[in-house]
Amino acid sequence: MRNTIYTLFAIIFISASCSVIRDMKSSRAERELMTQENVKKAIESQQILVKVNRLHTGRGRIMDINPTDNFIIIDRNLTRVSLAYMGRSFTTRPIAAINFTGQVYSSVVDTKRDGSYDIVLELGQENEKFKVNMIVSKGGYVSLTITNPRIDFVRYSGNLGTL
């Protein structure tokens, strides 16, 4: 009698745990769809927050940086950029960071077949402009490069968020 009760409890426990795993798989698919929708909504509304967590220098060095201090905010025509910089500077003074509040002068958004986006932006202030090339995956991963005549080629990677 006890063996049948233990067997019955074991069967109930195993069937309940299998249904939880099935529910977790469906919720993972739902989360992926929600992140894809959030990425699409952020890019279409031009309200983008990119939290940068890696700096890739021109000589192949990768540096982990703090995403709360390194970001790009784009709110339609306004932008705020705060990024660490490591590389050569082609001016008399060394450059340690890229920090400015400015405008978006031009933007081009292309959608690829796999659901990712190519975004080309020209950001800056009155006297200095930066060209930003971003590749945004459908999951929200961002790889971006920033070019300017005063700095060396530098690449960043991070995650996309909405404002």
Residue 79 lies in a domain: yes
Q: Say if 13 falls within a structural domain.
A: no
For each of the chain's 163 residues, which pLDDT tens digit applies? 667 776 766 777 676 665 555 555 668 888 888 888 989 998 888 899 999 999 988 777 888 888 888 999 999 899 999 998 887 777 767 777 888 899 999 999 999 999 899 999 999 888 889 999 999 998 999 999 998 888 878 899 999 987 7
DSSP reduced 3-state for 118: strand
Give the angle 107-108-110 at the CA atoms, nearest 5°.
Answer: 150
Q: Are 148 and 124 in contact (CB under 8 A)?
A: no
Q: What is the CATH number of the domain that holds 102?
A: 2.40.128.410
The count of structural domains within the chain is 1
**Residue 110, domain member (yes or no):** yes
Q: Which helix (H) or strand (E) holds 115?
A: none
Task: Decide if 25 is inside a domain.
Answer: no
Asked whether residue 92 is assigned to any structural domain, the reply reads yes
- Residue 55 falls within a domain, yes or no? yes
Q: Which domain covers residue 46, as residue numbers?
A: 40-162
Q: Label the pairing between strands 117-124 and 154-162.
A: unpaired
Cβ pair 146, 83 in contact under 8 A: yes
For residues 95-122, one letter each, b for 16 or more C-beta atoms within 10 angstroms of the residue's C-beta and e for the rest, the string is beebeeebebeeeeeeeeeeebbebebe
Q: Does residue 128 sit within a domain?
A: yes
Q: Check if the beta carbon of residue 160 is closer than 8 Å to that of residue 99.
A: no
Distance from C-alpha of 70 to C-alpha of 88, rounded to nearest angstrom = 19
Asked if the structure places residue 2 within a domain, the reply is no
